[in-house]
């Protein structure tokens, strides 16, 4: 998969996440919290499976997509992450792909020396 294809797939993934959040916000504003509803659990488990599959496809052996989505709020928080001394804010999908590694041989799955700030 080329870097352009990876970015394209990451954009689709981000769009899906945003759409799901927006739809569930509408439901919650009308009906109250739905976090304990079976439908909510089914939808979000499906999104997690999508995230896991995309991670494997783009060579994300360190679960950076999960971190970027949930902890870094799709980059909105601008948290820093990196490998060794190469740490910087991760705000965009391009930043995320740089963190993961643009070539398959750059991301070995070895998390030793990986830092999240």
Largest CA distance in the chain: 48
More confident residue, 112 or 69: 69
Model confidence pLDDT, tens digit, residues 51-66? 999 999 999 999 999 9
Q: How far is CA 58 from the centre of its chain?
A: 12
Sequence spans of domains, the chain:
3-116
Task: Report pTM.
Answer: 0.82
Residue 112 pLDDT > 90 = no
């Amino acid at each position: 998969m080329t870097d352009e294809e990876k970015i394209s797939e990451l954009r689709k993934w981000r769009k899906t996440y945003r759409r799901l959040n927006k739809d569930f916000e509408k439901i919650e504003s009308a009906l109250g919290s739905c976090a304990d509803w079976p439908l909510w659990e089914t939808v979000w488990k499906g999104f997690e499976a999508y995230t896991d599959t995309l991670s494997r496809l783009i060579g994300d052996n360190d679960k950076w997509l999960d971190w970027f989505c949930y902890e870094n709020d799709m980059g909105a928080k601008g948290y820093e992450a990196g490998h060794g001394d190469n740490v910087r804010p991760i705000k965009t999908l391009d930043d995320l792909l740089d963190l993961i590694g643009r070539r398959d041989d750059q991301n070995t799955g070895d998390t030793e020396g990986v830092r999240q700030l």
